[in-house]
Structure 1
Amino acid sequence: MSSQASRYAHQLLDARAHSKLIPLISQSEPLSVDDAYDIAYSIRNIRVAQGEQPIGRKIGFSVHKEWSRYGVTDDARVPIWAPVYDTTVRFAEDNHGTQSLAGAVQPRIEPEIVFKLGKTPAPDASLDELADCLEWMAHGFEIVACPFANWEFTVADSIAAFGLHGTLIIGEPHVLSSATKHHLPQILAGASVSLSCNTETSSVLRAAGFCNDEMDSPLHALWHLHQLLQKQSQFRQLQAGEIITTGTWTDALPIKPGQTWITAFSGVTLPGLTVSFV
């Protein structure tokens, strides 16, 4: 696969640039998760050469209850990750924003918890030690996009296709105290979020989400990413300053221009987001 990773990388980048669907890579030849990360590494190098700067990561498929909701067609049900870039991350002033969907292929919205690392974690960091490395926590919307028809793919296909990452919109960051860091898994396990969609003619609650237990928490997702990166020598390990979005709390719901999506939290002191799509 290494000799073909660059070819697939250019194919995926071309599909993204021209907003078009392409066949599954896994239909052309066997595609393992390791193969897919080879393609992802080639994509990263190309994007960096073109002037984009990786500033963090997105984690996908981290919440157990998601699996039956996606068009995943294989059994490699493992959390995935992909880089996020200075060109794909933005902050929503006062937790309100407007986002263009121009060029986004089959876009969907995901409400997530976002962390920023204030310190570089040790390779063998425990969950508590990883929490201590956090600087702030925020609420975000990840806009995911899929170049494969009908949102159907293998896990490896999704890794190769940018981790399905499109745009990350981040609300107001909240600096974490030492006490909050210490209790963060329990705090997040008791939190929930509602997701509503407003149009000119209606306002509808579309989803509600929560962490089933501590193993579904954003902090555990971050820990699993940290462990995975210890085995991926081609990629940089987690570093201070990185922004990490940790996976959706609800189903990823289709979005289109003319809609305004709104979230509200309970059980955690984070403001919701209001984003209008054009």
Structure 2
Amino acid sequence: MCKSTMLMSTKANRYANQLLDARARAKLMPLLSAADALSPMDGYDIGKRILDASIGQGDTPVGRKVGFSNRTIWPKYGITETINAPIWAHVFDSTVRYAEDNRGIQSLEGALQPRIEPEVVFSLGRTPAPDADLEEIADCIEWMAHAFEIVVCPFPDWKFEVVDAIAAFGLHGTLIIGEPHMLSTTTRRNLASMLANASVSLSCCTEDSVTLCGAGFGSDVLDSPVHALWHLHQVLNAQSQFTPLQAGEIITTGTWTDAYPVQAGQTWVTAFSGIALPGLTVSFV
């Protein structure tokens, strides 16, 4: 493996351990990119060390998250260069939970600078062929659900380069999944356009007020969340150090709005238009 394109093993391990330690202790840390000239592939090299360490500590990867698939938020992130492409990371049995009746309570203990993102999750019923096209990847989806991803950031003030975001667990904190909806063959065939034409609203409720914080469209997510899934499939085909998408995985495809800071005492609520997906209600403690 070429040293110029991938980190030396000892350096990648050191960065991985720093990120794992920051998460375990809920402590902010300096940017990796401030200390080293790092490429996005270096970020995935660090992510692979984190994956191996997490499995060694008893975590089981159960799927992936796609980040920065919403083009409308790209200009808001990045320091020397704005984010201009999606990223991905693993999600684990320890970071995924299901909200009974589309309602949940979530502790923010240990979450670094948590923010909330409304997303659509897919579960794969079949393993996609390596050369699967958009229709074929959609046909592999068994069910979909609405979810909140609680994203976290170990870098001060949510300022980072893309390599930092990739390495830092893809900024993944917790995935809270609502009621799964099994998909018919007809729905799968039309799913990309159905989701592209749908919209979601995101509101924050406190004892005193209800505030509409954001709204977004499925078309903002790489034209459709199904496109985001297909993009991930193609990226993984080129990253031989990682396992390709497999049957049984859950994939959260990226936020429909910007990510909004959350704190204990708030309840966040979503509502969809244009598609028969129920909203979610999650209270933070």
**TM, length-normalised to structure 1:** 0.98
Task: Provide closer, same or farther for how the CA distance between residues 149 and 214 of structure 1 changes in structure 2, counting only shifts above 3 A.
Answer: closer
Between the two proteins, what is the percent identity of the paired residues? 65
Contact 1:197 1:203 in 2 (8 A): yes
Once the two structures are superposed, the pairs formed by residues 71-86 of structure 1 within 5 Å of their partners are: 71-75=78-82, 77-86=84-93
Deviations 1:151-198 (A, max 9, x none): 010111100000000000000000011001001111011100000100
User: Which AA in structure 2 matches 1:255?
Assistant: V
Distance 1:220 1:72 in 2: 27
Q: Secondary structure at the match of 2:34?
A: helix
Q: Paired residue for 1:146?
A: 153
Q: CA deviation at 1:214?
A: 8.1
Structure 2 residue 250 is the aligned partner of structure 1 residue 243: yes
User: Which AA in structure 2 matches 1:146?
Assistant: C
Distance 1:62 1:245 in 2: 11
Q: Secondary structure at the match of 2:43?
A: helix
Distance 1:177 1:221 in 2: 20
Deviations 1:117-160 (A, max 9, x none): 00000000000000000000000000000000110101111000
Distance 1:192 1:72 in 2: 30
Q: Paired residue for 1:108?
A: 115
Q: Secondary structure at the match of 1:27?
A: coil
Q: Paired residue for 1:122?
A: 129
Q: 1:170 aligns with which of 163, 171, 177?
A: 177
How many residues align? The count is 278
Say what the alpha-carbon RMSD is for the aligned residues: 1.1
Q: Paired residue for 1:179?
A: 186
Distance 1:214 1:89 in 2: 21
User: Which AA in structure 2 matches 1:225?
Assistant: L
Q: CA deviation at 1:77?
A: 1.8
Contact 2:75 2:82 in 1 (8 A): no
* Structure 2 residue runs without a partner (length 5+): 1-6
Q: 2:52 aligns with which of 34, 37, 45?
A: 45
Structure 2 residue 258 is the aligned partner of structure 1 residue 258: no
Distance 1:213 1:77 in 2: 13
Task: Provide closer, same or farther for how the CA distance between residues 76 and 248 of structure 1 changes in structure 2, counting only shifts above 3 A.
Answer: closer
Task: Provide closer, same or farther for how the CA distance between residues 76 and 105 of structure 1 changes in structure 2, counting only shifts above 3 A.
Answer: closer
Q: CA deviation at 1:2?
A: 3.0
Distance 2:127 2:151 in 1: 27
Structure 2 residue 91 is the aligned partner of structure 1 residue 56: no
Q: CA deviation at 1:243?
A: 0.3
